Each structure stands twice: as C-alpha cells, then as structure tokens.
Amino acid sequence: MNIEFDSKFSGIDREDTLRGISARRSILERARRGEIWNEKWLGWLSVREAASARALAAVRGEAARVQQRASAMIVIGIGGSNRGAMAAIQAQRGKLTSPTRIVWAGDTLSGSSLRDALDIVERESVVLNVIAKDFKTLEPGISFRMLRKALMEKYGADYAERVIATGSYGDGQLFDLAQAHASRFLEFPENIGGRFSVLSNVGLFPMAVAGVDIESLAAGAEDAEHALRSLPLEENPAARYAVNRNLLFERGFSIESLIFFEPDLLPFARWWTQLFAETEGKTPSAVFPTSFSYSEDLHAVGQYVQEGRRCIAETYLRAFHSTPDLRIEPSAGVADRFDYLDGKEFDELNRAVYRAAIRAHSADGVPCQEIVLPEIRESELGALFYFFMFSCYLSASTLGVNPFTQDGVENYKRAMQSLLREAQPASDSSGGAASPQQKARP
C-alpha cells in the first residue's frame, strides 16, 4: 500500500495505541474480517466486487459514449452520491483532458444554482447523470425534474438517450423511471450505502467521464484492501488511526480536523467529513470531523488551534502536487525582503509551511497525526478512499453505532415536508417558522 500513517507528533505513543487496540481487540478483529454489521451493507469491503473488471469496462464504455456527445455532464446527487467523484476529479484536475466537463447539481435548493445548470443545458451539449440510492430525497429529485424538462425541450424525444440514471431497482426507484423513459441505467449496488460508494458505479462513472484513470484508482484501492485486511492490528495503519482518534477523544480532543495544503484537496476533505460525520455522529462519544485548508486557514482558525481551547486534534495529509519547473525569480530591483528565497523551487515553500504548522501546533500540545502519500495520483487516491472507509468502519464499530444508517437526517426532511405541504400565504417569507422576536410579541 502506498500510503503511511505516522503519529509521532500526536502525544499518543506506541504503548498507548497498543493498549487501545487491546481494549477493543475483539470488535476490531471482527470488523477487520467484515463480520460486524449485516453483510447487506458491506459490498464496498471487496474492491473486486464493487469495482469488478466487468463494472469498470461498462463504466468506461458508457463514459466514452458521453464524451462523444456532450461538452458537459451534469451530475445530480447529494451526500454520499456525489462527494467521492467530486473529490477525485478535483484532485486530478491538473491532468484531465476529457472533452466533457462535470457540473454538479441537486445538492442544494438554491434557485440561482439551478438557474446556472439550466443555462448550461441551453448553451451546451449536455447529458445528465442522476444518482440516488433511494430516489426520495427532495434536493436531487426536484433538480432532476427541472433539468429533465429542459432537456426534453431541447432534444425532444431523443432526450432520454442523454440521461444516465445510477440507482436502485424497485418500486418508484430510478430503475423504474429509467425503464419508463428508456433512459440509460447503471446500478447503485444494493449492498453499498452512499458514503461508501466512491469505488462503485456511483463514483467511478463521473470520474471516467471527466478523464480520471479509474483502473489505477481501483488498483490502488485493492492494494490497500489487501494490506489493511491482512495486517495484524498492531501493525495495521487503519486500526491504529481508528484507535488513536478515539484515544484523543478520551483526552478531550473531541474535534478532528483533516488538514490539507493543496486547495484541490478541498472536495476530498469534504468527502472525508461526510464519511465520518454521517457514519459516527449518532452518539456523544463520536469525534466531530472538520477540515482546514492551510496556508489559508492558518490565517483564520490557525490562531484558535494555536492558543484556543485544547479540543482540536489535527490529521495532516502530507500530499502535494509537484511543479518542479516553478522556481522563485529574483525580485529584479524591488526590495521586497524575500531575497533569501531566490532560486528555490516554489514547492519547497508548501513543504516548509507543512512542517512549520506541525512544529508550531504540536509544540503547544495540539495532537498532530500524519497520513503520507508519495504523490497525488489515482493509485494513491484509491488507497486513501479505502483507508478512510475501512478505518471509519472500524472506528464506528468500536463506538457501537451502526455505521450504515443515518436516521437523524430524516428529521429535517420531515420538517421540510410539512412546511412545504402547509398552505403558506404568498406574503409570508419566513418559511413558516416564527422568529424568537415574533414569538415574544403579544
């Protein structure tokens, strides 16, 4: 496996980790073997199953078809349905040469965002990829309706050829719709939930259309699977990471921030946040996941990390793009006080701020763990996706929560349904909710 985990700046020493593993051994062992939680959720554990040679070939074929006919593919999805693909596509942005760019929709109810997507349908040659495990969520559902209508108006009866549904079989699900309207269909595997779906058709298809090398991504993930499912717990980086983050929680570090130094990794950090938050956020004993983009956030939350309350642990992604041809030019007569940098590779600066942030923060008692990637290629990304999904499954299992449900999310959905079903007077712009001031008025 081409990624490493290093905790030497975390304040957790090897003995602590070993004790933590030993206290959780039987759960971790069972989870490592894939014996915890119903197998109906565990399709992602085997990369060969989720991203089989057959699935990869089908995805490739469908992607080539899209690339021949569209300059933009609008991906409609939310949560686990779109964040994995977003992460990989943005991380590989610099080298993608596909004729088809990806546009994201269906993860907001902002009319202005929908208008942007509708404008793209009007101006460009477009296909839609609508993704839903359970086609009941309002955000993607209503966006699909609006965009489908625009497609019908533009392309007439041929519009269905330009819709690829990634969904489930069953009543009222996308398969039904795809059948009824003769659109194209990719299966959202039944035994994989949204946030564990990046290595299935769900994530791989948009990646392939964008030009990501999905075969290398799957190969990297498979390498990680072999290592993480066979290494003994004591030497297993996913188990050590899962245990350490919970030991840090017990020491008062209830927040974990994923730190990255390439802005292109922001969507990856958002994928990671969603994975851990929706998987573990069902008990007060779960770590709260967030992310910071350094250097930028060193000039914002960095102050709090350095001198604020000791509740934030940092997990650094040592992962950099490489621009060896970019050297610092002499300033040509302007005394800007940066002459000591003349002639250096620009990349040295980003590596220096990485080391400086860890040095400054860990010196003040902030636990800093590192995940090290030699490069940001597809193979490393595949390994990293697998590493985090596997460690999240281990970590959630030790907390005793079901990693694969998200019942809490239903509450806002129910509240929104009842608001939207109530008859609202046209002039009421409050959305039906009384403000505290309104409530207090006689």
Question: Is 211 near ligand PA5 (CB under 6 A)?
Answer: no
Q: Considering only residues 168-197, where is the footprint of ligand PA5 by CB under 6 A?
A: 193-195
Q: How far is the CB of 425 from ligand PA5 (least distance, A)?
A: 31
Q: Which of 140, 220, 367, 403 binds ligand PA5 (CB under 6 A)?
A: 140
Piece of the chain touching ligand PA5 by CB under 6 A; list 75-83, 170-178, 254-262, 410-418: 75-83
Of the candidates 16, 134, 161, 176, which one interacts with ligand PA5 according to CB under 6 A? 134
The DSSP output letter for 327 is B
Amino acid in the structure at residue 230: S
- Cα-Cα-Cα-Cα torsion 144, 145, 151, 154, nearest 10 degrees, comes to -150
- How near is the Cβ of 197 to ligand PA5 at its closest, in Å? 7
> Phi and psi dihedrals of 94, rounded to 5?
-60, -20
404-433: b (≥16 Cβ within 10 Å) or e: bebeeeeeeeeeeeeeeeeeeeeeeeeeee
Nearer to ligand PA5 by C-beta: 20 or 43?
43
| Interaction between residue 278 and ligand PA5 (CB under 6 A) | yes
Which residue sits closest to ligand PA5, CB atoms considered? Answer: 194
Bridge pairing between strands 368-372 and 4-9: antiparallel
Beta 126-132 vs 163-167: how paired, if at all?
Answer: parallel
Residue 292 bridge partners (DSSP): 259
Binding to ligand PA5 by residue 85, rule CB under 6 A? Answer: no
Number of residues that bind ligand PA5 (CB under 6 A): 14
Among 17, 92, 137, 143, indicate the residue that binds ligand PA5 (CB under 6 A): 137
Q: What is the number of other CB atoms lying within 10 angstroms of the CB of residue 180?
A: 9
**Minimum distance between the CB of residue 193 and ligand PA5, rounded to whole angstroms?**
4
Query: Please, what's the b/e burial string for 83-119 (b: 16 or more CB within 10 A of its CB; e: otherwise)?
Result: bbbbbbbbbbeeebebebbbbbbbbeeeeeebeebbe
The Cα–Cα gap between 294 and 263 comes to 8
- Quick one: 223 or 278, whose CB is closer to ligand PA5? 278
Q: Does 203 participate in binding ligand PA5 (rule CB under 6 A)?
A: no
CA dist 1 and 225 (Å) reads 9
Sign of CA dihedral 141, 145, 150, 153: positive
- Segment contacting ligand PA5 by CB under 6 A, of 32-40, 133-141, 294-302, 305-313: 133-141
- Supply the residues annotated as catalytic: 278, 299, 413
Strand partners, 102: 73
Least Å distance between CB 51 and ligand PA5? Answer: 18
Q: Which of 3, 132, 224, 305 binds ligand PA5 (CB under 6 A)?
A: 132
Q: Of the ranges 76-84, 110-118, 174-182, 339-347, which one interacts with ligand PA5 (CB under 6 A)? A: 76-84
Q: Which of 12, 78, 265, 399 binds ligand PA5 (CB under 6 A)?
A: 78
Residue 168 CB, nearest distance to ligand PA5 (Å)?
Answer: 8
Q: Is 133 in the site for ligand PA5 (CB under 6 A)?
A: yes
Q: Which residues bind ligand PA5 (CB under 6 A)?
A: 78-81, 132-134, 137, 140, 193-195, 278, 406
